[in-house]
Amino acid sequence: MVSSVMGAALLVATGPLILDTYSVSILVRAFLYALAALTVDVLWGYTGILTFGQAAYFGIGAYAAALIFTHVGFDWSTILLAAGLAIVAPALAGLVVGWLSFYPGSTPLYASVVSLAFPIVVTQMIFSGGTFSGSSSGLVGYEVFDLSIEAWFRIVGGVLLLAAGAAYMFVNSEMGRLLVAIRDNEMRCAYLGIDAPRVKILLTAALATIAGLAGFGYANFSGVVAPEIAGFVFGTELVIYVALGGRGTLVGPLAGTVLIDTASSYLSGDLPYVWQLIVGLVFIVVIVALPNGFTPLFSRLWRAIIGRRGRPRHLAVVLESPRMDAATTTATLEIVGVAKSFGSLKVLQDITLSVVDGELVSLVGPNGAGKTTLLRCISDGRERSSGTVRVNGEDIQGLPPNRVARLGLGRKFQTAAVFESLTVAECLRIAGVLRYRPSLTRPLHVLHLPEAARAVVETTGLVNVLSRQARLLPHGQKQALELAMVLALEPKIVLLDEPTAGLTSAERRRIGHILTELASRHRLAVILVEHDLDFVREISSRVVVLHQGRILLDGPVDEVVGSRLIRDIYAGSSHD
Amino acid sequence: MTLLLDVVTTAGVLFTVAMGLLVVFGVLKIINFAHGAFLTVGGYAALVTTKFGVSAWLAWPLAFASGGVLGVVVERLVVRPLYARPLDAILATWGLGIVISQVITLWFGREVQFAQSPLSGTVAILGDTYSLYRLTLLGVSVGLGLIFAGLIEGTRLGLAARAVIMNEDLARGLGIDTRRVRLLTFVIGCGLAALAGALITPLSSVDPNMGVPWLINAFMLVMVAGASFFSLALASLILGGAQVVVSTFVSPILGGMTIVLFAAVVLRLRPAGFGRD
Amino acid sequence: MIEDVSVSSPPPVLDVKDLSGGYDDTLVLNGVTFAIGRGEILALLGRNGMGKTTLVRTILGFLPPRAGSVLLFGRDATGRAPDLLVRDGVAYAPQEKAIFQDLSVRDNLRLAATSDRAFRHALPRAFELFPLFEHRLRQKAGTLSGGEQKMLMIARALMVAPRLLLIDEISEGLQPSVIRQIAAVLRGERDTGTAVLLIEQNITFALDVADRWAVLKRGGIDDQGTISAGVASQIADHFAI
């Protein structure tokens, strides 16, 4: 990274000296496009939002300048007005597009659909503006800054470098890691209390502003604007540059845009169609065979040449001081008359139970009894068909999972839902964002963990692998990591779905001990769904038996476990 | 009433264009962004028949065959590796569309050209005179819709395709060769796209990028329609009608974005669109 | 160890040796070994989460095996695609969502046959097994009762005279009368030479139908034997807690 920055700075400083004017002006334009491509990379490469629409914000910024300079005039007040408009208009548009695209339950495909529709709408609006907006011929000849091309080169180059630097800082900051977490597992984020749609909407608006400013620069530099710069063809070109350069690398998209756009400018005179053809072919090959683009190839080559250099980050795990109200609040989960049906299929009927702090309740029953559905109804206020669920005194009616999580309820999934691309420490940090706002500039270097989470991290050996990527962890440690993440949320009620699935007997013993401690020492209310009845007998204080959607038994562990009923249900000898 | 005829014939054209995309999306669960390019291929097939002086009716089977053959190659090389990555499939097929249109430009040149219509002239209907070809197209759209609905309901391939749409895992567990079903479906979808291209060329003209605006509209229609031919027909009628009305009474330019806007809003309010949940 | 049936017996229909597998990084099966011969019903028992469904799906090729081998009719079928196995004479009745709710009874049955002519030959067999379907061909499968849907599933599986049938927890949620009917059908199939792997939690049903039993526990076959009087309590002990 450092070497590419130095190379780029060198180019910006000396470019005009070695290159001819034509090349310099091509590069200025390429730099402006690269700024827009940067925003595409942050949205797509890091946050997983495939967008064809950044061109529209670019166009809005450009037309803001062109329209004001054409129809109002060119002096300091109009310049400020145009600049302001180039910031505000894309931001507002970004908020609207974001609101349309990101909501609980939206799909990535729909977001891409909207991002495709938006530039079409913008270009059509420009077309319909008649002579005011220049329609299909665009606006030309308005007054602009009187700067030499060399000066433009240095200014735009410098801005691009600054933007790249800021982007680099941002994606490596805690907030940047949050974006990757959202991309990796948005559902896990929701159950950690994170309002992912809101993050995505704000991100879209912020990046729209940057694209808009790039467009503003373009309008000033080139002196002409045409509807194509707001169109989705340009938008897809930006995506192509990012894909070829390497999504999620920042450097890749920048280099890709500059190289390809510059080459296009040179070659479009001689063989425009062949060049487009080649770019198209390479694009297809990259998407199919080399999805991460060319940058990873180059960086591997580079590292092979200059020799590896690890950069271990120093991390301090800080034990958090207990919350002020930890001793006084009690955990309560009240479930009254909850039922869940899918059409005419009744999955749960008449479920009533209460759990308080210090209890370790196991929910058992054969497949199809409705156990996981019950967990869903407790953690997502929109799931159940009828009945009431109160988490720590609050009715969860209609609340999405992230709001329920904020009431003090944590849920651990059966399939070890962690953030595969993040390190163990980063996963834990993201789990704690409700309590500690993520930094927009600084990377993770101190990790605050509440006592329960820290206990899990230390006893399961996670403390030794804090810098390891979560996807490299063995299954048992992933389960432990997810549990620690849930505990980092500082819930008073914890729901666990088959926590022993796939664990070795040593790991099972450890988890059993941890769960018992959570209930007895940390005074949490622990509810687990489990099939391993030996495990259930060892650690539970209370057992609830679910069968065909109803509660059959609910009592202390000794009473329930020994009863004939459990054996009959599992052994199947009493089917009525 | 000319307006009513415009609405109905426009709906018919939209339906024909979008059918191939729907077939592919329903079974393969991916969006073929090269659909517009296949449309263009069909348009140029029609141009070829004009240039060779043969009957313009031959454009239709020629287009379908060209689209189908190209579809076989595309499915094997580009689409099959991307079944697990639907967003990347959109990108790869978009790249493919670029490649196809550049090849067409290199071969045929980029200027606008004209293919001969198999039917010309107008006919008196409902007190107005109306283009005979447009009316024929309407009939063809309805016919194609009925044929394909029949294929899907009646034939084994159609049944297998429906099974794959509903539950691919279960279909495999029954011995259905889902790879073959996907290949055949994709080929038919591409053939349909090319056929639609040949059908619409007489309405305007042929140029290497003629398919792009149709792609977007077809895409939005398919998103709104869900997975059945019937809801696609319904969507074509409603959104196509809206486009005609806006174009006629407000402005043709705004009319061009009616479908896109309408569809985006409908999907936001009801993610299943016009289809069943 | 596999019990020998006789020295000169033909190769087992299904021969699983040391099969290991699971999901992602979880190892669910750890060295499973058993075999089923012609005209034999083996009941595979075990509590939830012990890996019964994982075992079936690994045998069929829905999940890639990590180690071990699966021999089908004497030929190597380890990890082969499920549709290939099915076309070779294997039928599978999965645990959940085993019929197409939106298709008619007739269309559901039709999907099992490889051609329309084969379907016409096979359809009478479906009526033999479950006569109720003869007059319900046009009915949408989703409107059948739970028990009828399971019968449809079995009819579809058996209609094409498979050599091996794998059934995953068919008795779940069924009335005793329907269970008895299905048990009779399975016994009839066995008598014609079909091999059946019956995955069950319901010990009573399994003992009623099967010839041999095996218990799957913590990734491997814990115990197995032939069905005889008094074996029920021996099996139930494996389920005790």
**Residue C239: closest CA among chain A residues belongs to which residue?**
A571
d(CA C107, CA C121): 15
Residue B256 lies in a domain: no
Q: Going residue by residue through chain A, which has 576 residues, state the pLDDT in tens, using 9 for 90 and above.
A: 666 677 777 777 777 777 788 888 899 999 999 999 999 999 999 999 999 999 999 999 999 999 999 888 888 888 999 999 999 999 999 999 999 899 877 888 889 888 988 998 899 889 888 888 888 888 888 888 888 888 899 899 999 999 999 999 999 999 999 999 999 999 999 999 999 999 999 999 999 999 999 999 999 999 899 999 999 889 999 999 999 999 998 989 999 999 999 988 888 776 777 888 999 999 999 999 988 888 888 888 877 777 655 555 566 666 665 554 454 567 889 999 999 988 777 889 999 999 998 999 999 887 667 888 899 999 999 989 999 999 998 999 989 999 999 999 999 998 889 999 999 999 999 999 988 889 898 888 888 888 889 889 988 889 888 888 998 888 888 999 999 999 999 999 999 998 887 777 788 888 899 999 999 988 899 999 987 778 888 899 999 988 888 898 898 988 887 777 766 665 544 333
Are A469 and A478 in contact by the 8 Å Cβ rule? The answer is no
> What is the distance, to the nearest Å, from the Cα of residue A262 to the centroid of all Cα atoms in its chain?
32
Select the residue of C26, C173, C240 nearest A501 (Cβ to Cβ).
C26
Q: In this complex, do C26 and A561 lie within 8 Å of one another by their Cβ atoms?
A: no
CA A566 to chain centre: 43
**Number of Cα atoms under 13 Å in the Cβ half of residue A310:** 5
Question: Which of C107, C139, C161 is where one domain is finished?
Answer: C161
SS3 at position C67 = strand
Q: Which amino acid is at C212?
A: R
Check CB contact under 8 Å for C97 and B156.
no
Q: Which residues pair with C216 in a beta bridge?
A: C221
Of all residues in chain B, the one with the smallest CA distance to A127 is B253
- Structural domain count, chain B: 1
DSSP element (H, E) containing C23: strand C14-23
Q: Which residue has the tokens 């209890």?
A: A359
Contacts of B257 in chain A (CB under 8 A): 120-121, 124
- CA atoms of B159 and C103, how far apart (whole Å): 9
Cβ separation of A276 and B253 shorter than 8 Å?
no
A231 contact partners, CB below 8 Å, separation of at least 6: A55, A59, A119, A120, A122, A123
pLDDT band at B189 (very low <50, low <70, confident <90, very high): very high
From CA C141, how far away is CA C99, in angstroms rounded? 7
Contacts of A533 in chain C (CB under 8 A): 47, 241
**Nearest C-alpha neighbor of A97 from the set A236, A197, A223, A242:** A197
Taking only the tens place, the pLDDT of each residue in C101-147 is 888 999 999 998 888 888 988 899 888 888 888 888 888 888 888 78
Q: HEC string of C26-59?
A: EEEEEEEEEEECCCCEEEEECCCCCCHHHHHHHH
Q: How far is C117 from chain B (nearest CA, A)?
A: 11
- Domain count of chain C? 2
Burial level of A537, CB count in 10 A (0-12/13-18/19+)? middle
The residues that bridge with C16 in the sheet, in sequence order, are: C34, C70
Q: Report helix, strand or coil for C93.
A: strand
Residue B21, pLDDT above cutoff 90: yes
DSSP 3-state assignment of A363?
Answer: strand
Is the same domain home to C135 and C23?
no
Least Cα separation, residue C89 to chain B (angstroms): 10
Name the token pair of A503: 């664990």
* % of residues, chain C, pLDDT over 90: 25
Q: Distance, in angstroms, between B66 CA and closest chain C CA?
A: 29
Residue C1 has pLDDT above 50, yes or no: no
Distance of alpha carbon B271 from alpha carbon A539, whole angstroms: 45
Contact C92 B173 (CB under 8 A): yes
pLDDT at A319: 61
Determine contact, residues A253/A246, Cβ cutoff 8 Å: yes
Q: CB A316: neighbour CB atoms within 10 A?
A: 8
Provide the pLDDT for residue C3.
Answer: 52
B171 contacts C116? CB cut-off 8 A: no
Q: Does residue B61 carry a pLDDT above 90?
A: yes
Residue whose token pair is 């979808």: B189
Q: Which residues pair with B130 in a beta bridge?
A: B123
The full 3-state SS of A405-432, as one line of letters, equals HHCCEEEECCCCCCCCCCEHHHHHHHHC
Last residue within a domain, chosen from C161, C184, C216: C161
Q: Is residue B152 part of a domain?
A: yes
The domain boundary, picked from C113, C146, C161, lies at C161
Which residue from B minimizes the CA distance to A50? Answer: B87
Q: Are C31 and C80 in a shared domain?
A: yes
C-alpha separations of A95 from A85, A90, A359, B203 in Å: 15, 9, 45, 40
Question: What are the chain B neighbours of C159 within 8 Å (beta carbons)?
Answer: none
Higher pLDDT, B269 or A566: B269
Distance from CA of C115 to the nearest CA of B (A): 8
Calculate ∠ Cα A251-A419-A441, nearest 5°.
Answer: 50
User: Could you name the CATH architecture of A332-408+491-576?
Assistant: 3-Layer(aba) Sandwich (3.40)
Which of A367, A475, A566 comes nearest C48 by C-beta? A367
How many residue pairs bridge chain B and chain C with CB atoms within 8 Å of each other?
A: 53
Q: Tell which B residues from 144 to 183 touch C, by Cβ distance under 8 Å.
A: 156, 159-160, 162-163, 166-167, 169-178
pLDDT value of residue C91: 92
- What stretch(es) of chain A map to CATH 3.40.50.300? 332-408+491-576
Chain A interface, Cβ < 8 Å to C: 366-368, 415, 474-475, 478, 498, 501-502, 531-534, 536-537, 548, 561, 566-567, 570-573, 575
Chain C nearest-CA distance from B33, in A, is 30
* Candidate from B92, B257, B267 with C-beta closest to A287: B92
Residues 6+ apart with CB under 8 A from A88: none
C107 and C175 together in one domain: no
Mark yes or no for CB contact B78/A276 under 8 Å. no
Residue of A nearest to C30 (CA): A502
Q: Which run of H or of E encompasses A187? A: helix A186-190
C112 in the same domain as C189: no
What is d(CA A564, CA A209) in angstroms, rounded to the nearest whole number?
68
Token match 């339906």: residue?
B15
> Which CA distances in Å does A204 have to A175, A343, B264, C32?
14, 38, 18, 52
Q: What is the pLDDT of residue A312?
A: 53
Contact yes or no for A172/A438 (Cβ under 8 A): no
Q: How far is B161 from chain C (nearest CA, A)?
A: 11
For A117-159, give the secondary structure using H, E and C: HHHHHHHHHHHCCHHHHCHHHCEECCCCCCCCHHHHHHHHHHH
Do C79 and C181 lie in one domain? The reply is yes
| Residue C114 touches chain B, beta carbons under 8 Å | yes
Interface test with A, best of C20, C25, C237 (most A CBs within 10 A): C25
Q: Which two tokens stand for residue A431?
A: 């789990």
CB A474 within 8 A of CB A500: no
Nearest-CA distance from C116 to chain B in Å?
8
> Which of C83, C98, C100 lies closest to B166 in CB terms?
C100
The H or E element that residue C71 is part of is strand C65-72
* Contact across the interface for C204 and A573, Cβ inside 8 Å: yes
- With CA atoms as reference, the chain A residue closest to B213 would be A120
Domain range for B178 = 12-211
Nearest to B223 among A113, A243, A277 (CB): A113
Torsion of CA B143, B148, B153, B159, to 10 degrees: 170
Contact A291 B260 (CB under 8 A): no
Q: Is residue B104 part of a domain?
A: yes
- Taking CA atoms, what residue in A is nearest to B31? A109
Distance from CA of A184 to the nearest CA of C (A): 16
* Between residues A166 and B173, the one the model is more confident about: A166
Going by C-alpha positions, the residue among A248, A259, A316 that lies closest to residue A282 is A259
Q: What is the largest CA-CA distance in chain B?
A: 59
Chain A residue nearest residue C24, CA to CA: A475
Note the pLDDT tens digit of each residue in C34-91.
Answer: 999 999 999 998 876 678 888 999 999 988 998 999 999 888 999 888 888 988 899 9
Residue A422 and residue A192 in contact, taking contact as beta carbons nearer than 8 Å? no
Distances (CA, A) of A525 to A63, A520, B151: 58, 9, 58
Q: Could you tell me if A289 and A329 are in contact, meaning their C-beta atoms sit under 8 angstroms apart?
A: no
Quick check: B106 contacting A, CB < 8 Å? yes
A chain contacts of residue B264, beta-carbon cutoff 8 Å: 100, 113-114, 117
Q: Tokens 């495999």 — which residue?
A: B172
B125-144 residues touching C, CB cutoff 8 A: none
ipTM (interface pTM): 0.88
Q: Nearest CA to C92 among C153, C178, C147? A: C153
Q: Could you list the residue range(s) of the whole structural domain that residue C131 is in?
A: 97-161
Q: What integer pLDDT is reported at residue A573 of this predicted model?
A: 41
Q: How far apart are CA B179 and CA B161, in angstroms?
A: 11
Look at strands A360-364 and A525-529 and give their pairing.
parallel
N- to C-terminal Cα distance for chain C? 26
B23 to chain C, closest Cα gap in Å: 18
φ, ψ of residue B74 to 5 degrees: the values are -65, -40
Query: How confident is the model at residue C71, as a pLDDT?
Result: 92
Tokens 């489990």, located at residue: A530
Q: Using CA atoms, how far apart are residues C181 and C98, in angstroms rounded to an integer?
A: 19
Interface with chain A: mutation pick from B99, B215, B221, highest number of A CBs within 10 Å? B99
For C158, name the nearest residue in chain B, comparing CA atoms only: B174
Q: Which of A470, A474, A424 is nearest to A449 (CA)?
A: A424
Q: B219 at the A interface (CB within 8 A)?
A: yes
- Tell me the C-alpha distance between C213 and A431, whole Å: 47
- Are residues A113 and B267, on separate chains, in Cβ contact within 8 Å? yes
For chain B, say whether A50 makes contact (Cβ under 8 Å). Answer: yes
**CB atoms B159 and C92 under 8 Å:** no
pLDDT tens sequence across B102-155: 999 888 888 888 887 877 778 877 777 888 888 888 999 999 999 988 888 888
Residue A505: predicted pLDDT: 79
- Whole-angstrom distance, CA of residue A266 vs CA of residue B152: 51
**Beta strand extents in A214-365 (DSSP E only):** 224-225, 316-319, 332-342, 345-356, 360-364
* Ramachandran bin of C74, using left for φ above 0, alpha for ψ from -120 to 50, beta for the remaining angles: left
User: Which chains border C (3 or more CB–CB pairs < 8 Å)?
Assistant: A, B
For C25, name the nearest residue in chain A, comparing CA atoms only.
Answer: A475
How are the residues of chain B apportioned to helix, strand and coil, as percentages rounded to the nearest 5? 75, 5, 20
Contact indicator for B118, B63 with CB cutoff of 8 Å: no
> Quick one: C172 and C202 in the same domain?
yes
Cross-chain Cβ contact B87/A239 below 8 Å: no
Determine how many CB atoms are found less than 10 A away from the CB of residue A457.
27
Q: What is the pTM of this model?
A: 0.85
**How many A/C residue pairs have CB atoms within 8 Å?**
66
Q: How many CA atoms lie within 13 A of C91 on its CB side?
A: 26
